[in-house]
Structures are given as C-alpha cells and as structure tokens.
Amino acid sequence: MSTIEFNNALIALESYLIAFAMRYTKNEEDARDLTQETMLKAMKNKNYYTPKTNFKAWLFTIMRNIFINQYRRKVRSKTIFDNSEEKYLMNGSTEARNTPQNHITSLEVEAQVEALSDVYKTPFELHYKGYKYQEIANELNIPIGTVKSRIFIARKKLMECLPEYA
C-alpha cells in the first residue's frame, strides 16, 4: 500500500474512528483528540500495517491501546505514595480509613463473601487479591469464561445481599 493509498484510507475512516472514540471518551472534544492521536500514530507506524488485512481493525486496536495507556497514566497520576511508617496509598480521597463505621462495613462484606459457595467465593477472592482472570483459570483448572462468569455472579450476589453498598 502506497503512502497516498494509506492516507486516503485513513481519511476515509476518520468518521468511524471518531464514533469509536466516543464510546471510550463520552466527550466529543476528547474523541477528536483521541482520533487525531490514533491517526498520527498510524501514520508513524504505517510500515507495521500488513496489507490486505483489516485496516479498520488495525486502527481501532491502536486507538484502544492509546486510550488504555492514557487511562493508566491518569490513574497513576492520582495515586500518591506516602513514605510514612504506615506507607498508606492515597488516591486523593479524604475519607477516614479506620473509623468504626468502616470496620463494621468491612465485617459485613467479609461475612457475605464467606457466605458465598466455594464455586463463586474462590475465584472472587483470587480476583480481589489481584490475580488476573487467566491466572485464576490456570490455578482452578477451569476455562477463563467460567472464571469471568463466576466472578460476575459473585458480585451480583453480593450486591443483592448488600444493596446499601452497591
């Protein structure tokens, strides 16, 4: 694909890119910025595009990756590491951590998690501890889709039992 063909194909898909970006950003200005960054990155990396493959899918993948990277940077910039004895992680929230109300809330949630059947509790707890879906699937020797559905069902059951915290 020549540079002119590449640029023409890119321009032809601009409206699709903006619509796709709107799904992520929910804001027209941010969607246009994301589209512009995607087009720029695609032009810089056009030699990585494999001709006769789905050009639109390639662009959408670039856009998704840019959005994810921006989101991670945004989250990381809001998290502050306090080098004090307790080494608290703060994310800008001024909410007190060890209040009696929070302790009661924690006990209620823990009790409801314990009440879940092991089928749902085990994947939920592993996910809560930071395991990725694939790691949980490997650990429990079950398909990844089963892991996702069990975690979803566990969350749903917890929200039903604890509607005031949902």
Which whole number is the average pLDDT over 88-108?
56
pLDDT number for residue 104: 52
pLDDT number for residue 96: 52
Enclosing domain of residue 53:
3-78
pLDDT number for residue 101: 54
Residue 127 sits at the vertex; the CA angle it makes with 26 and 164, to the nearest 5 degrees, is 65
Among 78, 109, 127, give the residue marking a domain's end.
78
- pLDDT tens, 129-154? 888 889 999 989 999 999 999 999 98
Burial of residue 108 (number of CB atoms within 10 Å: 0-12, 13-18, 19+):
middle
Q: At what angle do helices 55-78 and 28-44 cross, to 10 degrees?
A: 120
Which whole number is the average pLDDT over 71-82?
67
Please state whether the predicted TM-score (pTM) of the whole model is above 0.75: no
- pLDDT tens, 27-42? 899 899 999 999 999 9
Residues 57 and 61: their CA atoms lie apart, in Å, by: 6
- Report CA 2 to chain centroid distance, whole Å: 36
Among 14, 48, 78, give the residue marking a domain's end.
78
Does pLDDT of 2 surpass 90? no
pLDDT number for residue 79: 57
First to last CA, the chain: 52
Residues with Cβ within 8 Å of 111's Cβ and at least 6 positions away in sequence, in order, are: none
The CATH number assigned to the domain holding 8 equals 1.10.1740.10
Does one domain contain both 8 and 72?
yes
Strands, DSSP E only, in the chain? 80-81, 89-90
Total count of residues recorded for the chain: 166
Q: How sure is the predictor about 87, in pLDDT bands with cuts at 50, 70 and 90?
A: very low
Does one domain contain both 74 and 10?
yes
Among 78, 110, 142, give the residue marking a domain's end.
78
Report the chain's mean pLDDT, rounded to a whole number: 82
Does one domain contain both 114 and 71?
no
**For residue 31, is it within any domain?**
yes
How many domains, the chain? 2
Given a contact cutoff of 8 angstroms between Cβ atoms, the answer to whether 36 and 11 are in contact is no
Query: Which two three-digit tokens encode residue 12?
Result: 């032809």
